[in-house]
Amino acid sequence: MTPPDASSHIASLPVAGRVRTPAQILQLRAPPLPLWKRAFDLWTAAMITPFVVPLIGVFALVMLITEGRPVFYGAERMRTPRNSFTLWKFRSMRPDPDDWGVSGTDKQHRITRFGGWLRRRRLDELPQLWNLWRGDISVVGPRPPDRRYVEKYPEIYAQVLQTRPGLTGLATVAYGRHEEMLLARVSTAEETEALYCRACVPRKAHIDLIYQRNRSLWLDLGIVRRTLFPKRRASPQRQLRRGFRRAFGIAQRR
């Protein structure tokens, strides 16, 4: 299945050349990890903990009553190409021992009523506050990848994971809706996996490396703002353009 033409906007963004192959992706080198990132993470965690912890308790109780156990879902994700951690979420799907790969149309029938409500608002990710305190993830960064993709694309993720994974990121706000629309067009787990690997992995890696080259406190604040207050009426094409050229003011760096 060929991705729609709208995704070609990624290739025209103001960065050093087009990114098409792992070798070209590796041409975007990351600067050293700034110390302010961890300070910002701890400050954010301290500010939101008094509000998030009660919500986690309420949602856990509702899920326990309406859906039963387990309340939480732990997934292995990679912090570095070799080091993994458990990323926590509220369980939003009925358990399936044969579950694998990214979430697409083939898994929609497993989403529970309360789990769907949480997912639409991204509230299923509130338990990741624990991961933030532990230092597994940052507030802003590339979304932590599954081990299968890190092992399949080691050259790409060796570069992407120079930045600590995040609760949200530039790829999330600039490409997330477009990714959802792409994956909604396929119906089987195999088709979802093939499309994700062909269209989503390289483009999200490209965006994550753009973030690495331009990261700053102001950029992080802009990404957080766009995560909390998305412009729902914007088309995926406009989100791609605005995410790079207008919302965050990323300038071309050579």
The pLDDT tens digits for 107-142 are 777 889 999 999 989 999 999 999 999 999 999 999
Confidence grade of residue 104 (pLDDT, cut at 50, 70, 90)? low
Secondary structure of the chain: what % helix, strand, coil (to 5)? 55, 10, 35
Is the pLDDT reported for residue 250 higher than 70?
no
Confidence grade of residue 11 (pLDDT, cut at 50, 70, 90)? very low
Highest mean pLDDT among 127-136, 155-164, 222-231: 127-136
Cα–Cα distance for residue pair 150/144, rounded to 1 Å: 10
CA 120 to mean position of chain CA atoms: 15
Nearest to 166 by CA among 146, 136, 196: 136
Residue type, 159: Q
Cα–Cα distance for residue pair 166/238, rounded to 1 Å: 24
Question: Which has the minimum average pLDDT: 35-39, 188-192, 220-224?
Answer: 188-192
Determine contact, residues 198/183, Cβ cutoff 8 Å: no
What is the residue-averaged pLDDT of the chain? 81
Cα–Cα distance for residue pair 202/208, rounded to 1 Å: 10
Paired tokens of 35? 């110390």
Structure letter (DSSP) for residue 147: H
pLDDT at 205 (0 to 100):
93
Question: Which has the minimum average pLDDT: 3-12, 132-141, 167-176, 185-194?
Answer: 3-12
Nearest to 6 by CA among 206, 192, 241: 241
